[in-house]
Amino acid sequence: MTLDYAGFTKASTLIHVAQGAGLLLLGAAEAYTLDNPGRKVSLVGPLALLAAAAAIPLLILALPGAWNFDQLRLALEVRRGFHIFPAFACLFGAAGLSRFAQAAMGRRGGGWQALFLFFLAAAGLLYFFMASRVNDEAWRQVLVWHAAAGATLLLAVAFKTVHVLDGRRFFHIVWAALLMITALQLLTYKESPGAFGLRLVTFEAAPDLPSVAGRPTAKPLPKNAGTADKKRSGH
């Protein structure tokens, strides 16, 4: 069974694209429904989130797993940091289901919307943990990109929360705009090959100890030195 480490990089990039596409459609639908309310249009956003959630495990199974569950188990054991992506799938799926239930019942607020915003905020917080799941040589780049995406998504949730409480049009526009900005950040992200690649560890031998009090260190005798001395003493 051969494990292709490039599959981790490709899967991560495509997972970010799926997440970005889901948030982009959500933001576009939110912006459109501001002046064109309708149940069918309001379902586009949650369905996009559900599609993104479904795409994540499929991409992991297809690329690192090579459509083989045994290889998938091996891949996740080798790269445990990849478990963060199924967590994203759960949060995106939960947010999509909550928003879908709210839209299907035709409600503007209520518990379903609160759950939707909660799961979306949890996804925003999870982006800050991405840097801790990759190799050391790539953590800085991963941290910068995902901290920006996470902060933008959390800011979007904050504006939507204010809109729910206040009702002003401005807050809804900013909410939709920030969703699309987050989406563009994820759509343009390209995973570094070193993030989930094979790590090589190099060991260096310790230097020779210096001589004590200026005296050279004694060299070890060869193994046959004692035998040779006995032979000479016998003559």
Find the range with the poorest average confidence among 86-90, 108-112, 116-120.
108-112
Does some domain include residue 231?
no
At residue 128 the predicted structure's pLDDT band, cuts being 50, 70 and 90, is very high
Residue 95 near residue 120, CB atoms below 8 Å: yes
Does some domain include residue 216?
no
Cα-based angle 9, 15, 20 (whole degrees, multiple of 5):
130
Does some domain include residue 215?
no
Does some domain include residue 65?
yes
Domain that holds residue 45: 6-187
Per-residue pLDDT at 90 exceeds 80: yes
Does some domain include residue 179?
yes
pLDDT digit string (tens) for 213-233? 555 555 555 555 444 444 444
3-state secondary structure of 204: coil
Give pLDDT, residue 227.
47
Does some domain include residue 100?
yes
Does some domain include residue 138?
yes
pLDDT digit string (tens) for 164-215? 998 899 999 999 999 999 999 999 999 888 777 665 444 455 555 554 455 5
- pTM across the whole model: 0.81
What is the count of structural domains for the chain? 1
3-state secondary structure of 122: helix
Q: Which of 124, 185, 115 has the alpha carbon at shortest distance from 156? A: 124
In Å, what is the CA distance from 102 to each residue of 10, 64, 122, 160, 223?
35, 36, 19, 15, 84
pLDDT digit string (tens) for 61-88? 999 988 999 998 998 888 888 899 999 9
Does some domain include residue 227?
no
